[in-house]
Amino acid sequence: MKYNRVLLKLSGEALMGSGNYGIDPNRLSAYASEIKAVVDSNAEVAVVIGGGNIYRGMRAEKMGIDRVQGDYMGMLATVINGMALQAALEGIGVDTRLQTAIKMEQIAEPYIKRRATRHLEKGRVVIFGAGTGNPYFTTDTAATLRAIEIGADAILKGTRVDGIYTADPEKDSDAKKYDKISFSEVYEKGLNVMDLTAFTLCNENKLPIVVFDMNKPGNLKNVLLGKEEVGTLVEF
């Protein structure tokens, strides 16, 4: 494996499948199978999932809800998604632990860095929920922070696009894919990889990012194996 310990970042919208909201059981099952395949290869995997398929805190103000309150509601949505992934993984024989930045001890462990790394060493998938536990921070930032804390070799951003392009490939047929790109080039070209806080944290802590298509079977394992044709690697 090129990467032995990784943090997989998934968007909440990815769980919707072809629906407009909620969780698609087929998509959830597919993601669980992809994660199991790499765990069976002795990779250590942590996961952060967004909550946009259920609720987005940033929409709160438009609904007349205080932004801070809305962000906490969004954090709870990430816990729901984490519980769903946990159930899907344990249903196919993968040991998991769900840790949350906000204490809710009846359903999850509180986030403790040493405990999280110990779970990973024992081959358990650790799912981090409730973001950073603070409003005004995205799940991209939460994923990056947790990846740095647990000493991940890379952060893997699973999307529905197979990497980073010169333009949006869903809107521009002439968009060209980058196989590799540096952090400085991403800044210079104004490419949208993660929110700026998360991206800067990765840069400052020399944490590589791989953006890849999570919906293509086998892609997650290929990324861990270091196959260059899969996704886009953001490095130094």
**Total tally of structural domains belonging to the chain:** 1
- First and final CA of the chain: distance in angstroms? 20
pLDDT single digits (tens) 174-196: 889 899 999 999 999 888 889 99
For the cut 80, the answer to whether the pLDDT of residue 58 exceeds it is no
For the cut 80, the answer to whether the pLDDT of residue 65 exceeds it is yes
Sequence-ordered strand ranges (E) for the chain? 5-10, 44-49, 96-100, 109-110, 125-129, 154-159, 164-165, 177-178, 180-182, 209-213, 232-235
What is the domain range of residue 190? 5-235
At residue 157, the pLDDT reads 96
pLDDT single digits (tens) 84-98: 999 999 999 999 999
The pLDDT-based confidence of 170 (bands split at 50, 70, 90) is confident
Percent of the chain with pLDDT over 70: 97
For the cut 70, the answer to whether the pLDDT of residue 56 exceeds it is no
Bridge partners (DSSP) of residue 7 are: 46, 155
At residue 167, the pLDDT reads 84
pLDDT single digits (tens) 205-214: 999 999 999 9
For the cut 60, the answer to whether the pLDDT of residue 129 exceeds it is yes
- Encoded tokens for 57: 């805190």
The mean pLDDT of 119-142, rounded to a whole number, is 96
- Encoded tokens for 198: 């998360």
**Domain at 10, CATH number:** 3.40.1160.10
At residue 105, the pLDDT reads 93
Q: What is the mean pLDDT of the chain?
A: 92
For the cut 90, the answer to whether the pLDDT of residue 19 exceeds it is no
Tell if the pTM clears 0.85, that is, is over it.
Answer: yes
Residue of 145 and 13 predicted with greater confidence: 145
The mean pLDDT of 36-41, rounded to a whole number, is 96
> What's the rounded Cα separation, in Å, for the pair 122 and 6?
15
Residue pair 181/199 in contact (Cβ under 8 Å)? The answer is no
